């Protein structure tokens, strides 16, 4: 299917709504209302890909984070994944750093669109505001009838998706996909540009089953989603193996023009085999709602009855968490003023965070502007935000493939002041933007090595507030040029993060290497040809966090040929990792490289 990715400005959710139309092959396929500065301020990517994450490659400001090809988490502008907030129809879902499963295990076809709010503090919830947010929209009653089939050569990966409207205001969808064994490139050849070697012993397999139903009554839409993962298997380097025998999630979402209410239940098992078999069983539920009235937004998000039990060789050992949880609620006031060539926007959120009956004040705010003169524009932005530690940072004692993580209950909340400025040119078929940003973060929460278990070499990790102010800097460049049937894209992004631990300057973790993305696309009648490359610079030596691993540079090549057989029928051949290069999404030492070369055949039918 075609995913529509709207990249809004930092001023999202604090400005009047405007209508943005997304086009695919000169035909309007989606019209969406989004709170952005102007239609020109939204960069719109429309492409065909099986996994939502694949589309993010086009934008270097959005970095890959996470464990592997099936459990990745998206971070905005390289900020750590636990500062990225994922939402479904405005409802926040737990991220990878929080206790419980991640939304990214679900089949991506269950979503109709992705809206990425760049920078920090963009979410109206305010929580996790240091890293921005990614909003996933579940399919609803406005969806079309669709059949989507695909098959990939790497690991015999397959997918079947069917969405159908039996009556006008009722929609049903089901998706099933899986893989026998995903193969990975031979890491001994990682300095090579092009290889044909694979690692037979390092591979993954999975099966996912998803259901979704939506019903609209007057101005209210009700959605129920059920997502289930069976035996997600992922090999780890060395003698350790990670499995996810069960991941079960249920979502209830009700939404109207001004109100969204959501509830999420999960039951999740994470298994590590390293001599003994260690299981961690998570379960709990979330509740959230968001109500907007004129220039005010009231929001709430709570995690309740969060439990985490540890088993060794099927025998219960201890409770990591028992009936834990927290509440986060607040009131946001926002407004904007429009002048001839200038738009000003500002917002203030008065938030409160409650954990174990300890109430804390968590304010956040924003002021931004965009000034247009002729074909040029300038966009400055300033934000401040609080982030309180998550349960996994304060309470958890988690078994990892490379050791243990012990929570720290004495952590202070993070406080951040973020500054950004962008200069751009927008004229007809050409758009160029150069931007820079800086984040000053007080009490930055970082994972550190605490000790080593000498009996088996495992490492004990914990979390600690770094000293003084930690700084994150970034520079970026983006350009898109359309010439008749040709489209040229070139992006570059650089990030650097520094903090102090025990008086010594260290590199912050989860800061991705610099990278370049380039793409050429050509449209010939009903055929689209696309070829792109991603070059990631090496990250070594002092530029690597003490808890992370060095990674070499790589150039990954991808291609797409799409045939529009009819207006509603499309066949595509998509090749990822064409040159079979060794590429990592994360600097995590336990992370595996991206899967080897995969040729996928995809058939889409709308009716």
Query: In three state form, how does the secondary structure of 252-290 look?
Result: EEEECCCEEEEEEEEEEEEEEEECEEEEEEEEEEEEEEE
User: Any idea which of 184-198, 205-219, 502-516 has the lowest mean pLDDT?
Assistant: 184-198
pLDDT number for residue 24: 43
With beta carbons less than 8 A apart as the criterion, state whether 396 and 321 touch: yes
Element (H or E) spanning 401, and its range?
none
CATH code, domain carrying 201: 2.40.170.20
What pLDDT, in 10s, does the model give residues 384-412? 777 777 777 787 656 555 567 788 889 98
Closest-CA residue to 467 (of 509, 506, 519, 436): 506
Q: For residues 542-550, give the mean pLDDT.
A: 84
**Taking 80 as the threshold, does the pLDDT of residue 241 lie above it?**
no
- Least trusted range by pLDDT, from 114-123, 206-215, 486-495, 561-570: 114-123
Q: Mean pLDDT across the stretch 510-527? A: 85
Q: Hunting for tokens 């092009």 — which residue is that?
A: 194
Residue 249: predicted pLDDT: 81
In the chain, what are the helix, strand and coil shares in percent, each to the nearest 5?
5, 65, 30
Contact between 279 and 271 under an 8 Å Cβ cutoff? The reply is: yes
pLDDT for 448 equals 87
Report residue 341's pLDDT band, with 50, 70 and 90 as the boundaries. Answer: confident
Domain that holds residue 464: 2-606
- Residue scoring higher pLDDT (456 or 119): 456
Q: Are the CB atoms for 146 and 162 separated by under 8 Å?
A: yes
- CB within 8 Å of 248: residues ≥ 6 apart: 227, 228, 229, 266, 267, 268
Pairing relationship of beta strands 459-465 and 403-406 according to DSSP bridges: parallel
Mean pLDDT of 494-523: 86
Tell me what pLDDT residue 399 has: 55
- Say how many C-beta atoms besides its own lie within 10 A of residue 438's C-beta: 13
Q: In angstroms, what CA-CA distances link 550 with 217, 296, 478, 500, 504?
A: 54, 46, 27, 20, 20
- Which pLDDT does position 321 carry in this prediction? 81
Taking the alpha carbons of 99, 104, 105, 109 in that order, is the dihedral positive or negative?
A: positive
- Does pLDDT of 166 surpass 90? yes
d(CA 475, CA 12): 21
Segment 72-99, tens digit of pLDDT: 333 333 333 233 334 445 544 443 334 3
pTM score of the predicted model: 0.82
| Contact between 366 and 11 (Cβ < 8 Å) | yes
Q: Is residue 546 helix, strand or coil? A: coil
More confident residue, 437 or 53: 437
How far is Cα 576 from Cα 557, in angstroms, rounded to an integer? Answer: 7
Instruction: Average the pLDDT over each of 157-166, 171-180, 278-287, 463-472 and give the range with the smallest value.
Output: 278-287
pLDDT at 601: 93
383 versus 113: the higher-pLDDT residue is 383
Strand 2-8 relative to strand 111-117: parallel, antiparallel, unpaired?
parallel
Predicted pLDDT of residue 60: 43
CA distances from 499 to 51, 307, 504, 509 (A): 34, 33, 8, 10
Q: What is the dihedral of CA 92, 69, 551, 513, to 10 degrees?
A: -40
pLDDT at site 9? 36
The more confidently predicted of residues 2 and 289 is 289
Q: What span, in angstroms and rounded, lies between the C-alpha atoms of 514 and 530?
A: 23
Residue 536 and residue 577: Cα distance in Å, rounded?
A: 13
Instruction: Please report, rounded to a whole number, the percentage of residues in the chain having pLDDT higher than 70.
Output: 69
pLDDT at 225 over 80: yes
Q: Which contiguous run of DSSP H or E holds residue 251?
A: strand 241-255
pLDDT at 44 over 60: no
Beta-strand pair 403-406/170-185: unpaired
Question: Beta-carbon neighbour count of residue 458 at 10 Å?
Answer: 18
Q: Which of 44-58, 343-357, 384-398, 491-505 has the highest mean pLDDT?
A: 491-505
Q: How far apart are CA 182 and CA 189, in angstroms?
A: 18
Q: How far is CA 29 from CA 6, 304, 410, 521, 529, in A?
A: 14, 39, 51, 20, 20
Sign for the pseudo-dihedral over CA of 122, 123, 127, 128: negative
pLDDT at 247: 78
pLDDT tens for each residue of 269-323? 878 777 788 888 888 888 877 787 877 878 787 888 888 888 999 999 888 788 8
Q: Which two tokens stand for residue 544?
A: 């690597």
Cβ within 8 Å of residue 294, ≥6 positions away: none
From residue 43, how far is each of 48, 372, 381, 426 by CA, in Å?
17, 17, 18, 11
Residue 456's contacts (CB-CB under 8 Å, 6 or more residues apart) are: none
pLDDT digits (tens, 9 = 90+) for 243-266: 778 778 888 888 887 788 888 888
- Distance of alpha carbon 46 from alpha carbon 36, whole angstroms: 18
The DSSP bridge partners found for residue 296 are 293, 333
DSSP character for 101?
A: -
Residue 222 has pLDDT above 90, yes or no: yes
Tell me how far apart the 2 most distant CA atoms of the chain are, in Å: 70
What gap in Å lies between CA 199 and CA 596, rounded to an integer?
9
| Number of folded domains that form the chain | 1
Range of weakest confidence among 119-133, 324-338, 393-407: 119-133
Round to whole Å and give the CA distance between 268 and 73: 17
pLDDT at 111 over 70: no
Choose the weakest-confidence range: 2-6, 20-24, 116-120, 252-256: 116-120
467: confidence class by pLDDT, cuts 50, 70, 90: very high
Is the pLDDT at 334 greater than 60? The verdict is: yes
Q: Which helix (H) or strand (E) holds 42?
A: none
Q: What pLDDT, on the 0 to 100 scale, is given for residue 468?
A: 93
Give, in order, the Cα–Cα distances in Å from 367 to each of 5, 418, 532.
25, 11, 36
Candidates 62, 86, 88; CA nearest to 75 is 62
DSSP, collapsed to helix, strand or coil, labels residue 555 as strand
Query: Cα 542 vs. chain centroid, distance in angstroms?
Result: 27
pLDDT at residue 127 tops 50: no
217 vs 30 pLDDT, higher one: 217
- Residues counted in the chain: 607
> What's residue 360's pLDDT?
84
Residues 444-462: tens digit of each pLDDT? 888 888 876 645 556 788 8
Q: Reply yes or no on whether the pLDDT at 162 is more than 90.
A: yes
Measured between alpha carbons, how far is 193 from 480 in angstroms, rounded to an integer? 27
- Distance CA(379)–CA(370), nearest Å, equals 4
Per residue in 56-66, pLDDT tens? 455 444 433 32
Tell the residue number behind the tokens 């040929």, with chain if given.
561
């Amino acid at each position: 299917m075609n995913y529509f990715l709207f990249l809004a400005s930092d001023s999202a959710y604090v400005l009047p709504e405007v209508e943005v139309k997304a086009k695919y092959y000169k035909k309007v396929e989606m019209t969406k209302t989004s709170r952005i500065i102007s239609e020109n301020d939204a960069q719109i990517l429309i492409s065909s890909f099986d996994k939502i994450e694949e589309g993010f490659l086009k934008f270097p400001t959005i970095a890959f984070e996470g464990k592997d090809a099936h459990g990745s988490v998206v971070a905005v502008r390289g900020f750590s994944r636990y500062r990225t907030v994922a939402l479904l129809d405005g409802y926040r879902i737990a991220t990878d750093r929080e206790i419980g499963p991640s939304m990214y295990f679900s089949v991506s076809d269950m979503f109709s669109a992705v809206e990425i709010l760049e920078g920090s503090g963009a979410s109206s919830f305010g929580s996790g505001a240091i890293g921005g947010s990614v909003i996933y929209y579940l399919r609803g009653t406005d969806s079309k009838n669709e059949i989507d089939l695909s098959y990939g050569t790497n690991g015999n990966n397959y997918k079947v998706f069917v969405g159908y409207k039996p009556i006008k205001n009722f929609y049903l969808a089901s998706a099933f996909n899986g893989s026998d064994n995903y193969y990975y490139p031979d890491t001994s050849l990682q300095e090579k540009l092009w290889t044909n070697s694979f690692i037979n012993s390092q591979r993954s397999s999975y099966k996912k089953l998803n259901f979704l139903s939506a019903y609209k009554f007057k101005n209210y839409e009700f959605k129920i989603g059920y997502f289930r993962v069976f035996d997600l298997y992922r090999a780890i380097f060395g003698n350790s193996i990670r499995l996810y025998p069960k991941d079960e999630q249920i979502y209830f979402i009700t939404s109207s023009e001004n109100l969204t209410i959501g509830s999420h239940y999960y039951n999740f098992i994470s298994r590590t085999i390293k001599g003994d078999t260690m299981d961690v069983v998570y379960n709990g539920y979330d509740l959230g709602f968001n109500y907007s009235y004129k220039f005010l937004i009231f929001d709430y998000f709570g995690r309740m009855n969060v439990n985490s039990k540890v088993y060794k060789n099927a025998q219960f050992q201890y409770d990591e968490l028992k009936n834990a949880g927290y509440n986060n609620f607040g009131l946001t006031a926002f407004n904007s003023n429009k002048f001839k060539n200038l738009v000003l926007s500002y917002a203030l959120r008065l938030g409160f965070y409650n954990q174990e009956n300890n109430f804390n004040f968590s304010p956040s705010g924003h002021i931004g502007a965009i000034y247009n003169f002729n074909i040029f524009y300038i966009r400055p932005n300033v934000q401040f935000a609080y982030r309180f530690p998550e349960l996994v940072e304060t309470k958890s004692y988690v078994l990892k493939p490379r050791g243990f993580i012990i929570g720290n209950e004495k952590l202070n909340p993070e406080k951040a002041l973020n500054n950004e400025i962008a200069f751009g040119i927008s004229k007809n078929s050409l758009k160029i933007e150069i931007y820079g940003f800086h984040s000053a973060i007080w009490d930055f929460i970082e994972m550190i090595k605490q000790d080593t278990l000498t009996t088996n070499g495992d490492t004990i990790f914990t979390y600690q507030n770094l000293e003084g102010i930690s700084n994150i800097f970034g520079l970026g460049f983006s350009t898109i040029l359309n010439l008749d049937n040709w489209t040229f894209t070139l992006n570059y992004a650089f990030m650097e993060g520094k903090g102090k631990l025990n008086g010594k300057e260290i590199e912050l973790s989860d800061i991705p290497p610099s990278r370049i993305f380039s793409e050429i696309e050509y449209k010939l009648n009903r055929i689209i040809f696309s070829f792109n490359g991603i070059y990631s610079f090496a990250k070594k030596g002092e530029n690597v966090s003490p808890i992370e691993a060095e990674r070499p540079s790589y150039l990954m090549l991808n291609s797409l040929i799409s045939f529009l057989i009819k207006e509603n029928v499309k066949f595509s051949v998509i090749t990822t990792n064409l040159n079979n290069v060794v590429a990592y999404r994360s600097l995590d030492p336990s992370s595996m490289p991206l899967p080897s070369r995969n040729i996928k055949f995809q058939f889409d039918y709308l009716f």
